[in-house]
Structure 1
Amino acid sequence: MSLRHAILVLLQDEEASGYDLAREFANSIGLVWNATHQQIYLELGKLNEQNMVHYRHVPQDGKPDKKLYRITDEGRQELVRWLRRPAAPARVRDAFMVKVAGAALADPETLLGELDQLVQQRKERLANFEAEARKLERQSEGNSRFQHLTLRRGILDQEAWLAWAEEVREVLEDTLSHQH
C-alpha cells in the first residue's frame, strides 16, 4: 500500500484539507498506515500534479487560505485499479517484540518500565478507536460500515496486544523475583 492510496480512500466521499487528512490518519486510518503531516502534504502535492486530486481555496479570517482537496475521476480510477490488485502480506516491525525475544540478556525492570509506557499508549489508542467506532455505529450507510470494520480490526489488535503484554509482565515479574 502506498500513502497515495490511503489519501485517495479518505477523499473518496468528501473533500478535506491536509489538516483534516492528518487528523484522520491519527484517529482512524493510522491504525493501518502511519504518515506525518509533512508526508501527507508532500503526497497531496504529487497527487495534484498528477491530476488525481484538485483543490479549492477557502478564505479564512486572520489565517492563510485553506486548501480543500477532492478526488478527481483520474484519482478514482487509480483507486479502483489499486483496490482490484491483491494486497501484499502485512509486515510486522515491532522493536519491543525484538526486545522481549532478547529479554534473557536484558534488565527486567527496564523492560517492565518500557512495557508500562507501551501499555498506556495502547490503552489510549484503544480508547480512541472505540470512540471513533461508536461515532460510526450511529451511521449505517455507505463507507461508514467499512470504516467501522477497519476500526474493529484496530480494536481487536489493541486488545490482543494488551493481553500479550500481561503475559510478558508475568514472565518479567517472575524473572525479577528469581533474581532477588
Structure 2
Amino acid sequence: MSALPGELPYSSVDPEEALKYAIQHHARERVQIIEGVIEPMTLGWDHEATASHLRCRLNDKVRALGCVMGSGDLDLPGSSNWFVPDVAVVPCALAKGGGALLPGQTLLVVEVTSEDSGDTDRVVKPRRYAEYGAPLYLLIDRRDCACTLFSEPGRLGYTRAVGPLPFGQPIDLPEPFGLSLDTSEF
C-alpha cells in the first residue's frame, strides 16, 4: 500500500541523501553543495586556463602512477557537502566505478579560486578535505597570485602547509608525485 499525499512520513527522509540526490539529478547545470548551500559552478575561461596548465604539467606523472585526472564529484558523507574540485587525481581503478568518490580516495585535490568561490576554497575546503582524508590539497589562489600546498590531513584540518608561494616560484609536490611544479603560468 502506498502513502497518500500528505501521509508521507517526512521524518524518515534523510535530508543529506535528499539534497545530494537532487544535485546529482539536476539536469541543467553543474552544482556543488558547500556547507548545505547549493552553489552553481560558474567558471570563466581564465579559470579553466589555469586548471589546464596544471593538467599539462601533471599529465605524464599521473599516467605513470596509473591514475586519471579530472573534476569528478567528491562526496563527504555525514555532512551536507558535495564538492566538485577543479582537478583531482585518482587511481584508474576507482574512476571506473562511476559515481562520486571520497576525498580520501584521491592522491591530490586542486582548487583554483574564482571571485565567487575564493573564500570557500581558502577556508571551508581545506578543513573539509583534511577531515575526509585527502592527502594533498593544492590551492591556486588567483586573487593573491599564490599557491599553497596542504598535507598531513587530520580531523581538525591539515597539519602542514607550504606557502603561500607567489606565482613563478615552484612548489614541490611530494611522493607519489615527486616533482617540482612550475607556477609561472598561473
Query: When you count strand as a share of all residues, which structure comes out higher?
Result: 2
Give the alignment's TM-score, normalised by structure 1: 0.22
Give the alignment's TM-score, normalised by structure 2: 0.21
Q: Which has the higher contact order (CA 8 A, sep 6+)?
A: 1
